[in-house]
């Protein structure tokens, strides 16, 4: 019986796996390694690519961060074991300009940035995706836990089957054009245990490798030390004041504080606990107040990437679920478009600790589809 060459393969492309080239973005961790091994076993023409995002020598000593020297070595070992080519691309300058510099400036402006989103948006799904096209790839696959499903209007982005692993918060800025080229083979798995079981079945050396925890260029989670190095003088001391402007103490640099923070303020002896409610970078003041002062109902959002049906600005408002932090579940809200890329989001139940610089991601009410999202740009 003749092979139907127009029938879609497991990646939804109309040709046999052997004639389908897939570039796999390999971080050196278990997730992307399993993707590469899985596709190779299915007979695809796999090409592994790992990005060197900062100084290789410094990276070798870092533990618990992605894209470090050991991770490059691990990705190469997987490629050798499975028998497909592997390339390391030096994206250090691009990563610094597109991600690290903005990260430092955002913190200096009193925001709480999410550099992993910018990395996906500006490096992995832009420049790396372009490199994949240059390699004559038919698509690019990653180890992200998210699902790409075909809808009536084309590819849709949906939350992962495992809510504990879902990475949709970090991928909301994926454009429709990028989505047409991307594939996420792990999004349907029920748990990380399934991924590790697959790694063991393929005999991968990374099967038991721990998950990365830190932002790759922030060793030990010490944001302030990185920002001080990038922006000398960023840790200049200033005043801690209450909401009426009364001085309660001094601080060791605005970059050491985040909205909603309670511990480590160094202003003990007060009857009621106080929280950081605002960072005034112009006067180098940390403003503190009671917990209720953190409650926010209206969230201004900009740089919106819309993945839903129709034009974003074509409706006055729409009910959605929104996630304003990666660690919080989606909450009911109403989105009111102000333009094609700006909106006002009304939270039906107020949230605490909403911070400029965080993402606000829109989800279909009662469903798994990601409708897009944007960036919280000032306190409400």
Number of residues that this document lists for the chain: 380
Cα 229–233–234 angle (5° rounding)?
75
CB-based contact 158:148 (threshold 8 Å): yes
Q: How far apart are the C-alpha atoms of 309 and 312, rounded to whole Å?
A: 8
β-strands 45-52, 86-90: how paired? parallel
Q: How far apart are the C-alpha atoms of 126 and 97, rounded to whole Å?
A: 14
Q: How far apart are the C-alpha atoms of 150 and 173, rounded to whole Å?
A: 18
Tell me, yes or no, if 360 is annotated catalytic.
no
CB-based contact 11:36 (threshold 8 Å): no
Of 116, 139, 216, 360, which one is the catalytic site residue?
A: 216
Of 66, 67, 116, 119, which one is the catalytic site residue?
A: 119
Residue with tokens 């605490």: 352
Extended beta strands in 136-280, E state: 139-141, 146-151, 154-159, 182-183, 238-242, 247-251, 275-280
Tell me, yes or no, if 119 is annotated catalytic.
yes
Active site residues: 119, 216
């Amino acid at each position: 019986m003749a092979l139907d060459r127009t029938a879609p393969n497991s990646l939804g492309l109309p040709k046999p796996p052997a004639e389908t080239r897939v570039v796999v973005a390999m971080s050196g961790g278990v997730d992307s390694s399993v993707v590469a091994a899985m596709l190779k076993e299915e007979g695809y023409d796999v090409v592994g690519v790992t990005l060197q995002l900062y100084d290789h020598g410094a990276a070798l000593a870092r533990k618990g961060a992605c894209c470090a020297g050991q991770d490059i070595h691990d990705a190469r070992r997987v490629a050798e074991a499975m028998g497909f080519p592997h390339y390391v691309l030096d994206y250090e300058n691009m990563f610094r300009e597109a991600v690290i510099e903005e990260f430092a400036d955002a913190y200096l402006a009193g925001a709480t940035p999410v550099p992993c989103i910018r990395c996906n948006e500006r490096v992995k799904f832009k420049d790396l995706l372009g490199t994949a096209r240059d390699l004559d790839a038919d698509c690019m696959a990653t180890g992200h836990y998210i699902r790409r499903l075909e809808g009536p209007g084309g590819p849709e982005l949906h939350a992962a089957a495992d809510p504990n692993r879902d990475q949709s918060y970090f991928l909301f800025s994926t454009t429709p054009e990028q989505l047409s080229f991307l594939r996420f083979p792990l999004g349907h798995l029920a748990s990380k245990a399934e991924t590790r079981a697959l790694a063991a079945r393929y005999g991968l050396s990374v099967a038991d490798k721990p998950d990365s925890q830190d932002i790759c260029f922030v060793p030990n989670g010490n944001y302030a030390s990185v920002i001080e190095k990038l922006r000398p003088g960023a840790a200049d001391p200033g005043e801690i004041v209450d909401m009426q402007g009364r001085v309660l103490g001094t601080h060791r640099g605005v970059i050491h504080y985040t909205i909603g923070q309670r511990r480590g303020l160094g202003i003990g002896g007060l009857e009621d606990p106080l929280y950081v409610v605002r960072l005034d970078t112009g006067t180098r003041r940390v403003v503190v107040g009671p917990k209720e002062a953190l409650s926010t109902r209206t969230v201004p959002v900009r740089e919106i990437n819309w993945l839903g049906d129709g034009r974003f600005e074509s409706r006055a408002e729409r009910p959605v679920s929104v996630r304003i932090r990666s660690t919080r579940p989606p909450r009911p809200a109403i989105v009111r478009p102000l333009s094609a890329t700006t909106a006002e989001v009304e939270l039906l139940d107020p949230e605490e600790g909403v911070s400029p610089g965080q993402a606000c991601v829109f989800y279909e009410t009662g469903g798994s589809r990601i409708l897009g999202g944007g960036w919280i740009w000032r306190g409400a």
